[in-house]
Every structure is written in C-alpha cells, then in structure tokens.
Amino acid sequence: MTNIQALRKFNQAQDTSSKVIEFLKEFNDGDICDFEYHRSVIETYILRNKTIPAILPSFPGKPINPNLAPSHIPDGAEEYAISKLKEMIAGVEKIYAPGINIKLFHDGYYFIHLAMDYDYYRMQEYVDTIKLLCKDSNITSIDLKNVTEGSTFEARMNYWNCLYYPTEEEINTYNMLYPEVYSGMVAFFYNHFSRYLYPHKSNLFRRKVSKYIAWNYVVVNMSVQNYIKDHFKDDLRLSVKKQDNITSQKFYVDILQGIENHGLPWMNTLIEENGRKVIKKFRD
C-alpha cells in the first residue's frame, strides 16, 4: 500500500467513524461524554475492517417486588428495549458494513445476595429469555458462567469476590465523589424493597436494612466496573445511565427512546394507560 493509499484509507476511516458517532448520538438524548474518545475507539476497528465490539451492562433481572413488575420473566419493556438496540445496530450497519456487536453484561447475578432477586435459577430464566429475544441479531449475552470459574453458583461468586471487589479506599473515594448514588439507592431500597420484604418491621429497622443494601450495592457495582475495565478495555463502552460529563468514557444509549417511561425496563413493566404505552411500576 502506497503512502497515498494509506492516507486515503485513514481519512475514510475517520469520516466513517464520525458518521457512526453522529448516528449513535441519535440514541443518547443529548447526553454529554467524551465523543472524541468514542470516535477513536470506533476508528481503530474501521481501519482494520472489523466489527465494532461494544459492552453494555444491562438486563440484570426483574425486581422481587410484584408492585414493580408482576413476573420475573422479561415483558414488553425488555422487548421494546431490545428492539431499540436492534434498530441501533441496523443503522450502524448501513453506515459501516461490518457493523457493531453489542454484548449485554447481565450484572444482576452479583446482586442476588442483596435481595435484588430470589435466587440464581430465577435469574438464569430471565437471562435465557433475553437471549431468545436477541436470537439472530448482533447482540450477545454474557452471564455468570462466562466470567467466573467453578461448578456451582457459590464457587463462581467466591471467584468473583476474590478478584474484582474494590478496596476500602476505592469505596470511600467513590462515595465521597458521588454521594448522590448511595443516598438515591437508600431511598429506592427503602421505598421499593424494605417495605415489601419487611412490612411489619419498624421504619428504623427498614432504614438500617436499606442503608446496608445500598452500601453493598455500590460495592458490587464498582466490582462490575472493575471487571469490565479489565476485560473489555478495547470495547466501545455503552451505558443505560446518563453521563452528563464531557470526560466520560461511557456512551449513554436511551433504550426506551420514543416511549413514555418512568425508569429502566427491568425495574418496571410495560402497561397500557389511557391508550398509551408507558413503562412504569406495575401497581402504584
């Protein structure tokens, strides 16, 4: 390849990666992040004519509170979210033929011990259903068996805990930088979990339980982030949470774009309300 050909290829890759980013921005609801970083990640794969790999921690499982979702099986909320991801993938393929592959990292397994779900088997049924929804598409699933070693759930969790849990210093630093995460989770667990799990306990007891769960939720979430940074550092990092941070290396995607919603699909359900489709709590 001559220098002129190499330069032309580089310029084409830059142009195509910019077009891909501009298309993806249509799914991020005006959120702010480090778009140049994401464009450069995409460009490295376009230069090699490779499929762009992306990682999205998501679809953890339905909550145990039936007032939020009536079943642990994915419903219309998840179906809608998956259809949005498929729409995004199809749009990228029109711009760049090798396209993009989105890996869903099902992080719900790691929250089971916090009463986020009943048990491993209930969680696995949810994940298996998501895999069926993604069949014959450029979406793949990563679950507990893909990222840990051991023949039992307990063994896999022990493996995970030994390798990826953050240090106490990292936890304290995170909670100092992002105090709203912890306080928001305390309120969420108090309102939607403690009242369901412990209806006859005192407010003080439920508040203590909620603080315990929220603290450990932050820790587990940090361990998931550690794993992804370690094993998917070259992937386009997608997120279902808005970043609003010009230095963020996470790219927000609105998987419920175009539908009225009051939360994430797996924490709620799809209902008909006054002739409209709305994603919200199953029962107020």
Is the confidence at residue 4, as pLDDT, over 90? Answer: no
H/E run at residue 103: strand 100-105
Is the confidence at residue 76, as pLDDT, over 90? Answer: yes
CB-neighbour burial class of residue 97 (10 A; exposed 0-12, middle 13-18, buried 19+): exposed
What is d(CA 242, CA 126) in angstroms, rounded to the nearest whole number?
A: 25
pLDDT at 112: 85
Yes or no: say if 31 and 243 are a contact pair by the CB < 8 Å rule. Answer: yes
What is d(CA 198, CA 190) in angstroms, rounded to the nearest whole number?
A: 10
Angle in degrees, CA 113, 115, 118, rounded to 5:
90
Is the confidence at residue 1, as pLDDT, over 80? Answer: no
- The residues, ordered by sequence, that sit 6+ positions from 111 with a Cβ below 8 Å of its Cβ are 60, 117, 217, 220
DSSP-derived 3-state class of residue 253? coil
Is the confidence at residue 70, as pLDDT, over 70? Answer: yes
Q: Identify the band that residue 114 occupies on the pLDDT scale cut at 50, 70 and 90.
A: confident
The mean pLDDT value for 66-92 works out to 95
Residue that is written with structure tokens 């993009």 in the block: 100
Name residue 30's amino acid: G
- What string of DSSP letters covers 202-219? -HHHHHHHHHHHHHHHHH
pLDDT at 159: 87
CB-neighbour burial class of residue 197 (10 A; exposed 0-12, middle 13-18, buried 19+): middle
H/E run at residue 171: helix 168-177
Is the confidence at residue 208, as pLDDT, over 90? Answer: yes
What is d(CA 152, CA 164) in angstroms, rounded to the nearest whole number?
A: 18
pTM, to two decimals: 0.92
Is the confidence at residue 172, as pLDDT, over 70? Answer: yes
Mean pLDDT taken over the chain = 91
Q: How many residues does the chain have?
A: 284
Provide the percentage of residues in the chain whose pLDDT is more than 90. 62
Is the confidence at residue 261, as pLDDT, over 80? Answer: yes
Q: Which residues of 177-186 are buried (b: 16+ CB within 10 A; e: fewer)?
A: eeeebbeebb
Yes or no: say if 19 and 39 are a contact pair by the CB < 8 Å rule. Answer: no
φ, ψ of residue 141 in degrees (nearest 5): -115, 140
Q: Identify the band that residue 207 occupies on the pLDDT scale cut at 50, 70 and 90.
A: very high
DSSP-derived 3-state class of residue 130? helix
Q: Identify the band that residue 6 occupies on the pLDDT scale cut at 50, 70 and 90.
A: low
Is the confidence at residue 254, as pLDDT, over 70? Answer: yes
